[in-house]
A and B are shown apart, each in its own frame.
Chain A
Amino acid sequence: MLLKIKPTAIRLNLLLIALLAGASAISQEIGDFQPEAAWDGNPDINGIWQAIGTAHWDLQDHEASAGLPEMGAIGSVPPGQGVVVGGEIPYQDWALEKKQENWAGRPIADPETKCYLPGVPRATYLPYPFQILQGTDKIMIVYGFAEANRTIHMNVENPEAPPLDTWMGRSYGNWEGNTLVVEAQGFLGEAWFDRAGNFASSALRVTERYTPISPDALLYEATIEDPTVFTRPWQIRMPLYRRLEPNARVVEYKCVEFSEEILYGHLMKKEE
Chain B
Amino acid sequence: MKCRTIFKETIFTIGKMSSYFITALLCMFSAAVFAAKPHHITIALSNISEAISWYEEHLDCQAIPGRDDTVNCGNTEIEFFLGRTVGGSQGTGVDRIGFSVADLDAKMAELESVGVRGSGVRLVRFDDGALVREIPGLYKTAFITDPWGTKIELVQDEDLLGFHHIQLNSVDPSEALNFYSQVFGGERARLKGVLDGVTFDGIWVLASEYTDGRPGITQGRTIDHIGFEVASFDEVSMEMSRLGVEFRQEPAVPDNARSSSRQAFILGPDGVTISIVEPGWEGIEEELAAAEAQSTELYVIPRTPWGEPDIQGIWTADAAHGIPLQRGIDVAGTDELTPEEAAARRERGTLNSIWGYDREWRDTTLGYVTSAPSTQVAMVIDPPNGQLPETTAAYKELVANAPPRIPPQRARTPEDLGTYVRCITRGPVGMMMPSIYNNGLQILQSPGNVAIQKEMIHETRVISTEPREGFGDGLKTWLGDSHGRWEGDTLVVEVRNLNGRTSYLGSSPEMKLTQRFTRTGPNTLRYEFTVEDPAVWTEPWTGMFNFIKDDNQIELVEYACHEGNYGMTNTLSAARTIDAREAEESEYQE
Which residue numbers of A lie inside 8 Å of B, CB to CB? 38-40, 46, 114-117, 131, 133-136, 138, 140, 142, 146-147, 149, 151, 153, 164, 166-168, 170, 246-247, 249-252, 254, 256-257, 259-260, 263-264, 267-271
Contacts and interface: CB of A to CB of B under 8 A. Distances in A.
Nearest to A115: B562
B357 interface: no
B414 A116 contact: no
B394 interface: no
Interface stretch (B46-54, B116-124, B141-149, B453-461): B453-461
B562 A116 contact: yes
Contact of A135 (B446, B479, B557, B572): B446
B403 to A, nearest CB: 14
A133 B445 contact: yes
Interface string B362-387: 00000000000000000000000000
B555 A151 contact: yes
A268 B417 CA distance: 12
Contact of A264 (B310, B468, B560, B569): B569
B573 to A, nearest CB: 5
Contacts of B572: 264, 267-268
A116 B579 contact: no
Contacts of A151: 442, 444, 554-556
A267 B573 contact: yes
Most B CB contacts (10 A, CB to CB) among A133, A135, A170, A246 go to: A135
Interface stretch (B24-32, B182-190, B327-335, B469-477): B469-477
A260 B306 contact: no
Give 10 closest A-B pairs by Cβ, nearest first.
A267-B572, A133-B446, A269-B412, A166-B558, A135-B444, A151-B555, A247-B469, A140-B444, A268-B413, A252-B477
17 contacts: A38-B447, A46-B447, A116-B562, A133-B444, A135-B312, A135-B445, A151-B555, A166-B557, A168-B558, A247-B468, A257-B414, A264-B568, A264-B569, A264-B572, A269-B412, A269-B575, A269-B576
Give the dominant DSSP class at B's interface: loop
Contact of A256 (B424, B444, B451, B479): B424
Contacts of B535: none
A172 to B, nearest CB: 10
A107 to B, nearest CB: 17
Most B CB contacts (10 A, CB to CB) among A39, A167, A170, A269 go to: A269
Nearest to B478: A254
Contact of A167 (B470, B479, B563, B579): B563
A251 B477 contact: yes
B413 A136 contact: no
Nearest to B479: A252
Given A138-B555, A252-B459, 5 more contacts: A115-B562, A136-B304, A147-B458, A256-B424, A260-B414
Interface in B559-580: 560, 562-563, 568-569, 572-573, 575-576, 579
Contacts of A133: 444-446, 449, 451, 462
Given A136-B304, A136-B312, A267-B573, A116 B560 contact: yes
Contacts of A166: 557-558, 560
Contacts of B458: 147, 149
A35 to B, nearest CB: 15
Contacts of A257: 414, 422, 424
Given A136-B304, A269-B412, A251 B447 contact: no
A153 B477 CA distance: 30
B414 to A, nearest CB: 5
A109 B398 CA distance: 43
A149 B460 contact: yes
Given A256-B424, A257-B422, A268-B412, A39 B449 contact: no
Interface in B290-307: 304-306
Given A147-B459, A246-B469, A164 B304 contact: no
A149 B413 CA distance: 29
